[in-house]
A and B are shown apart, each in its own frame.
Chain A
Amino acid sequence: MNFVTVPLVERLGDRALRFARPHAAPARILEAVKAWPGVIDAVVGATDIAIYFDAEPSEDYEARAAELATLPSEATVGREHQICVAYDGEDLAAVAAATRMTIDEVIAAHAAGTYEVASIGFLPGFAYLDGLDPRLELPRRETPRPRVPAGALAIAGTQTAVYPFASPGGWHLIGRVIDGPMFTPEHGARLALGDRVRFVP
Chain B
Amino acid sequence: MSLVVVRALGLVTVQDGGRVGHMHEGLARGGALVRSALVAANRAVANEDFAPAVEVLGKLIVRAEAPVELATDRTARRVHDGELVIESEPERATYLAIRGGVAAPSILGSASAHLAAQLGHVLAAGARIESARGAAHAHALTSAPAAIRGSAIRVVPGPDAHAFAPDAIAALVSAPYRISPQSDRVGTRLVGPVVARSSAPDRSRPTVRGAIEVPRDGQPIVLGPEHPTTGGYPIVGVICAADLDRFFAIRIGGDACFEVGHVATSRARS
Contacts and interface: CB of A to CB of B under 8 A. Distances in A.
Given A14-B156, A14-B263, A49-B206, A41 B24 contact: yes
A43 B23 contact: yes
B25 A52 contact: no
Interface stretch (A5-13, A73-81, A108-116): A5-13
B208 A13 contact: yes
A12 B228 contact: no
B238 A13 contact: yes
B158 A121 contact: no
A119 B228 CA distance: 13
Contact of B208 (A15, A121, A122, A185): A15
Interface stretch (B41-49, B62-70, B114-122, B171-179): B114-122
Given A12-B235, A56-B267, A120 B208 contact: no
Contact of B203 (A34, A47, A125): A47
Contact of B241 (A15, A123, A188): A15
A189 interface: yes
Contacts of B240: 13-14
Interface centre among B21, B26, B27, B156 (most CB of A within 10 A): B26
A185 B22 CA distance: 12
Interface in A113-152: 119-126
A13 B158 CA distance: 8
Nearest to B268: A56
A157 to B, nearest CB: 11
B270 A56 contact: yes
Contacts of A121: 26, 204, 206, 228-230
B266 interface: yes
B170 interface: no
A36 B254 CA distance: 40
Contacts, number: 136
Given A13-B238, A13-B239, A126-B26, A50 B208 contact: yes
Contacts of A167: 116
Contacts of B108: 185, 188
B205 A18 contact: yes
A41 B23 contact: yes
A46 interface: yes
Interface centre among B27, B206, B270 (most CB of A within 10 A): B206
Closest 5 CB pairs of A and B: A13-B238, A121-B230, A50-B206, A189-B25, A10-B159
Given A14-B267, A49-B206, A125-B117, 20 more contacts: A11-B158, A11-B263, A15-B208, A34-B24, A40-B20, A40-B21, A45-B204, A45-B205, A46-B230, A50-B208, A120-B26, A121-B229, A122-B26, A122-B231, A123-B26, A123-B228, A124-B26, A165-B116, A183-B117, A185-B119
15 contacts: A11-B156, A12-B158, A13-B237, A13-B240, A34-B24, A41-B22, A43-B206, A45-B206, A52-B208, A120-B24, A124-B116, A125-B25, A188-B22, A188-B108, A193-B24
